[in-house]
Structure 1
Amino acid sequence: MNHSSLDIIVIFTSYGSFGPLNYLFFMLIFILYLLSVFVNVFLMLVIYFDSSLHKPMYIFLFNLAVNGLIGSSAIWPKLMENVLSDTQMSSLLACLVQVFCINFYVSSAYTTFSVMAYDLYVSICKPLLYHSIMTPGKVKALLTAANIVPLTSISLQVYLTSRLQLCSYIIHKLYCDNLALFNLSCVKSALVNLYGVFVTTSLVGFPSIIVLLSYAKILTVSLKASKDAQKKALSTCSPHLITFINLSLASLFFVIYHRYSSLLPGEVYILITIDIFAIPPLLNPIIYGIRTQEIRKCVVKMVKKKQRLFQIF
């Protein structure tokens, strides 16, 4: 694609027309998006303003909340616009930007989960060495890698996709994704296809292996520990494990749908979209807020402080 081709319009065909119900769908999506933004920003503010949470685990959690904002914003604003529009379309440039944000959201979530799993492994399996291993410098390096590796890999992937010559401009989906644009190309590039497999393997498969190995080590150590230690380990790991499993299941359903989309109804695609782009950004901060004792204490402390201020005034 050259610069002028980026002004090409692509059309989405999966919306349909529901008349006045479109306004109801708009309000539901708007509320969902607003809640996602609120819970992630709230969690970020709690971590930022409470110095007791300036620890590796919560720094990584802050990054996960930022990632949730990116994922929500990549989908829902454009979806709301299309729901109220007579014609659902997007410029090719905007489509590529959406592809980048979506792929970065998913891949960065996996890399962040992997560094969080490593942090949990060190804290539970090597507690006496934790502070010497998880130094501020190492935390910065892990956080940088968790973002820079997906950023550069996805940027190259989107660049390669942007070089494809398209023979069709109709996307039978609610939004743009890399596979949809690849399928619109006149010639299926082996390089783009192979690089897509490489990105998926390195940014989803490899982090997942790190998470599984970390939990295998944690389980081995926990089985040899006391009941109190096992309970503490479960309390510490459960938020991370719940959110990771949810994202992995959503990603698995997404892959299965793309492989067998002709055999499955369109409603399944909508449910998978919600599962990937609504549930993790919305529930991750809530799950961590409920299951993590330190965050609960900080939230209660902030609420009580606000109540005292209101009583004064």
Structure 2
Amino acid sequence: MQNSSSVTVFTLEGLNETASHKFIFFAISLLAYLLICLFNLTLIITIITEKTLHEPMYIFVCNLCVNGLYGTAGLYPKLLADFLSDSHVISYSGCFLQIFVIYNSLMCEFTILTVMAYDRYVAICKPLQYHSIMTYLTISKFLLISWVLPFCESTIGLFLTIRLPLCGSHIDKLYCDNWSIVKLSCIDNIINNVYGYIFILVHVSEALFIVYSYIHIVRACVKSREERGTFLQTCFPHLFTVIIFTTAIVFDLMYSRYGSKTIPQALRNFMAVEFQVIPPFLNPLIYGLKLRHIRRRVMRLCNRKIDKM
């Protein structure tokens, strides 16, 4: 057995059984990452440059895309390098940095989606008070909460994990994750478990708030045909995004906690990274195609680029 004093690198074993097709996986992963960057950057640039999109909903969408780029930056560069390498290792500090970035991004996305649910609730259920409630000061506070709260959660979780003495250095995934490190601990990790339950409670509360918001939104839409159209135009993309993201997170949690080694390696790898593939890939497409104002501005921006060429 080895303790944390001798652990300087971690071995990532998720790619061990896919070495024979590593160039194919590299090409697929590179294409996915480039498309994620392209789609999210296009939406970010469009929202920033078009003053008509400087409204609460679009500002939150912009932050969602920024967070998507931030989170994927914690996974893809290292993953792409591992596909081209025969040794899949990561330094001790690099491992914990990856844990922080990936999980901070996940918490941030869920918090932003919660804030967006409140924005849609006010827009549908209190339309006459919308501009008096969703002021730029309120938006600034929500954005501050969306980034600072997850940062604090991630920092506390990281320090609780770093303090653990480790009796191993092999991680059965494509990347470092908190649960895999905790399982390598030589001591009882009751503090980490308690913090984990608190963390789950906080984000389950956010999920319940989203459900509560949409109950009231649906009630309002049943009474008004106009609100029904607003729901399909602006709320449906958000609801679809929440469902996709929640499903991806549940898959990751179930895999991390109860994943069996009898499952094919390719399927285990997909389950481990889908939350960093599907949501950041689909989010800009959903909002870019469904929200009419964004779609028009994106087309206008693309036409400008074509004309200059």
Per-residue deviation, residues 221-245 of structure 1 (Å, max 9, x unmatched): 111112x431222221111111110
Aligned to 1:225: 224
Contact 2:18–2:266, Cα closer than 8 Å, also in 1: no
State the Cα RMSD in Å: 1.7
The question of 1:113 aligning with 2:113 is answered yes
Contact 1:121–1:218, Cα closer than 8 Å, also in 2: yes
Aligned to 1:39: 39
Aligned to 2:26: 26
Counterpart Cα distance in 2 of 1:19 and 1:149 = 39
- Structure 1 residue runs of 5 or longer lacking an equivalent are none
The question of 1:197 aligning with 2:197 is answered yes
Aligned to 1:244: 242
Counterpart Cα distance in 2 of 1:8 and 1:278 = 29
Residue 291 of structure 2 aligns with an amino acid whose one-letter code is: T
Aligned to 1:149: 149
Contact 1:39–1:282, Cα closer than 8 Å, also in 2: yes
Mean CA deviation greater in 18-27 or 55-64: 18-27
Contact 1:6–1:93, Cα closer than 8 Å, also in 2: no
Contact 1:6–1:91, Cα closer than 8 Å, also in 2: no
Structure 1 segment 1-313 matched on structure 2, within 5 A: 5=5, 8-16=8-16, 18=18, 21-202=21-202, 204-226=203-225, 228-262=226-260, 265=263, 266-310=265-309
* SS at structure 1 position matched to 2:75: helix
Counterpart Cα distance in 1 of 2:215 and 2:68 = 27
Counterpart Cα distance in 1 of 2:242 and 2:9 = 36
Using the TM superposition, give the Cα deviation of residue 27 of structure 1 relative to its aligned residue in structure 2, in angstroms: 1.4
Counterpart Cα distance in 2 of 1:136 and 1:5 = 49
Counterpart Cα distance in 2 of 1:273 and 1:166 = 22
Using the TM superposition, give the Cα deviation of residue 138 of structure 1 relative to its aligned residue in structure 2, in angstroms: 0.5
Residue 104 of structure 1 aligns with an amino acid whose one-letter code is: N
Using the TM superposition, give the Cα deviation of residue 145 of structure 1 relative to its aligned residue in structure 2, in angstroms: 0.3
Counterpart Cα distance in 1 of 2:171 and 2:21 = 23
Per-residue deviation, residues 55-97 of structure 1 (Å, max 9, x unmatched): 1111111110011012211111111111111111111110000
Q: Structure 1's 267 and 18: CA in aligned 2 closer, same or farther, altered over 3 A?
A: closer
Residue 165 of structure 1 aligns with an amino acid whose one-letter code is: P
Q: What fraction of aligned residue pairs are identical, expressed as a percent?
A: 35
Q: Structure 1's 59 and 25: CA in aligned 2 closer, same or farther, altered over 3 A?
A: same
| TM-score, with structure 1 as normaliser | 0.93
Counterpart Cα distance in 2 of 1:306 and 1:153 = 41
The count of corresponding residues between Structure 1 and Structure 2 is 305
